[in-house]
Structure 1
Amino acid sequence: MTEQQQTQIEAAVFRRLLKHLDSRKDVQNIELMNLAGFCRNCFSKWTVEEAKNLGLDVDLDTARERVYGMPYQQWKENYQTPATAEQLAKYEELQAQKNK
């Protein structure tokens, strides 16, 4: 497999992952963070960072719109629910462990 083919496969897998996440708007970012250690916002931030590494300028709002399939504020208004006390406690616990 060539490097270009590998990149094409990885890009296709990433698009498939975004499509999957889009089909699961019921899964909240805090749930993703607590279970997997990353969320949709992480993908957005990673996009900005990797673009910068390639000498490209991609702002966070543009990256979020790509990841969320719509402006971030619209997604939050339509799909984000308040985190439960249990979710927040778990998130804080995991952050504390990560920062040790």
Structure 2
Amino acid sequence: MNEIDAATRTELEAAAFRRLLEHLRERTDVQNIDLMNLAGFCRNCLSNWLKEAADARGLALSKDDSRTYVYGMPYEEWKERYQGEASPSQLKGFEESKPRH
């Protein structure tokens, strides 16, 4: 991407981020704990990173608003609809993978 100017690179990165969010919104079967165990981040991490970026630029973005943006609905609604109880093996994997988060 050396030949792409900074503005175009930012547009491409933003498009990729929006596509990632779309994919995660479609894959409600994938639990956050599974994402954390496998990749060391989850939907909540993405919303936190979005809020941190806004904060760094002095923009007002609440935690609830950043989560709504990432989840495509209020977080509490997403949890009610899609979040299952973590299994003992998921919890064990989470504890084992914590140092890599």
| TM-score between both structures, scaled by the size of structure 1 | 0.94
Segments of 4+ in structure 1 off by > 4 A? none
Q: Which whole-Å deviations, capped at 9, do the CAs of 1:23-50 have from their partners, x for residues lacking one?
A: 1000000000000000000001001111
Does the residue aligned with 1:89 lie in a helix, a strand or coil? Answer: helix
Higher relative contact order (CA 8 A, sep 6+): 2
Counterpart selection for 2:87 from 77, 84, 88: 84
| TM-score between both structures, scaled by the size of structure 2 | 0.93
**Alignment partners' CA distance in 2, 1:98 and 1:32:** 13
Does the residue aligned with 1:67 lie in a helix, a strand or coil? Answer: helix
Counterpart selection for 2:64 from 44, 57, 61: 61
> Does structure 1 retain, via aligned residues, the 8 Å contact 2:68–2:75?
yes
1:29 is the counterpart of 2:32: yes
Percent same amino acid among aligned pairs?
A: 53
Does the residue aligned with 2:41 lie in a helix, a strand or coil? Answer: coil
> Does structure 1 retain, via aligned residues, the 8 Å contact 2:40–2:100?
no
